[in-house]
Structure 1
Amino acid sequence: MKISKNKVAAIHYTLTDNSGNVLDTSDGREPLHYLHGAGNLIAGMEEGLEGKGKGDKFSIKVPPSKGYGELDPSMTQSVPRSAFGDQPVQKGMKFSTGSGAVVTVVDVGLDSVTVDANHPLAGVELNFVVEVMDVRDATSEELSHGHVHGPGGHNH
């Protein structure tokens, strides 16, 4: 059976940037189970998995446009230091905004703090090494919910 729309695939993967830094991996964990074609993975990953079968081992290079997008300079802004109250603020800290967006502190000044709302992997070319562990038909419940249930998936 091959990975295609409405199939459940189980994969092991390692994700690196172009410098070889490991950003994420399923090594030492259960495989990632997902419903293909339901938008549960970034577009470039789904495209690279399409048509693969159990036992296949391969690499996928995903450009930012099919990953987490290009860096958008308009999503970086300076806000008054007073917006953080009395809490300590340091570069690298993450905060939720009133709208639910997550911003990362990229610079702290005396009167202002610069925050970036881009995804941390925006602008990054992603390199996946993948092994397909299993492919099966999705259940009707998985199809109606848009995600995997049971082992490796969501239980509800």
Structure 2
Amino acid sequence: MSIKPNTVVSLTYELHTTNEEGQQVFVEKADKENALVFLYGTGMMLPKFEEHLSGLNVGDEYSFELSAADGYGEIDPGAFADLPKDMFKDVELPAVGDVIPLQDNQGNHFRAGVTAVHEDVVAVDLNHPMAGKNLIFAGEILSVREATQEELSHGHAHGADGHSGH
């Protein structure tokens, strides 16, 4: 069976980006013992990631690069903010490089990277950590099966075999 909408895909991958010198930098991987399992075609994965997998079969190997625009987007220069230091009076003051949890006025949760700590403010980057980076994927398709009706109604896979539900 080939990968198409409403199939459950199990795959391995290695993800790399490139640094300023153009060298590949390892980010993360999913191996056979800890495979990525997802319901294809439901918007859970990056659209261009899925596009590159379309039509592949069990045992097929793949390798492709997504541009930043097709991944997590370009860096938005407007997505930087200065938070008042007194926001952190009840918790330890974050340091440069920390990733902190935040919540907006509508109750949406997100994370921000601390870029600087000044006298009165903590400067944060609200861009996705992978924004502005090309994503280089390589891996192998481990299994492809039709999604169950329960998976389709829930909008996500219940494991490679369909029985790892919740």
TM-score, normalised with respect to structure 1: 0.92
Conserved in 1, the CA contact under 8 Å of 2:49 and 2:66?
A: yes
Relative to structure 1, the CA distance from residue 95 to residue 148 in structure 2 (aligned partners, 3 Å threshold; closer, same or farther) is same
Pick one of 110, 113, 116 that aligns with 2:122.
Answer: 113
After TM superposition, the structure 1 = structure 2 runs for residues 19-98 of structure 1, keeping only pairs within 5 Å, are 19-27=23-31, 29-85=33-89, 87-98=92-103
Give the Å deviation of 1:110: 1.7
Measured against aligned partners, the alpha-carbon deviations of 1:111-151 in whole angstroms (never above 9, x if no partner) come to 22110111100111000002001111111111111111144
Aligned to 1:148, the other structure's residue is in SS state coil
Residues 152 and 78 of structure 1, relative CA distance in 2, 3 Å threshold: farther
Tell me, what secondary structure is at the counterpart of 1:74?
coil
Q: Report how many residues are paired.
A: 156
Residues 9, 37 of structure 2: 8 Å contact kept: yes
How much does 1:28 deviate? 6.2
Structure 1 residue ranges without an equivalent (≥5): none
User: 2 CA distance for matches of 1:121 and 1:38?
Assistant: 22
Q: Percent identity?
A: 37
Judge conservation of contact 1:33–1:152 (CA < 8 Å) in 2. Answer: no
Aligned-partner residue type, residue 165 of structure 2 = N
TM-superposed CA distance for 1:79, in Å, is: 2.1
Distance 1:121 1:29 in 2: 25
| Equivalent residue letter for 2:122 | V
Equivalent residue of 1:3, what SS?
coil
In 2, Cα distance between the equivalents of 1:27 and 1:47? 21
Q: Tell me what 2:8 maps to.
A: 8
What is the root-mean-square deviation in Å for CA atoms of aligned residues? 1.7
SS of residue matched to 1:17 = strand
Q: What is aligned with 1:130?
A: 139
Question: Deviation at 1:152?
Answer: 7.1
Describe the SS at the equivalent of 1:97.
Answer: strand
1:155 aligned onto 2:165: yes
Taking a change above 3 Å as real, the CA distance of residues 49 and 140 of structure 1, as seen in their structure-2 partners, is: same
SS of equivalent to 2:34: coil
Q: 1: distance between equivalents of 2:82 and 2:46?
A: 30
User: Structure 2: 5+ residue runs without aligned partners?
Assistant: none
Task: Give 1:43 deviation, angstroms.
Answer: 1.5
Distance 1:91 1:118 in 2: 15
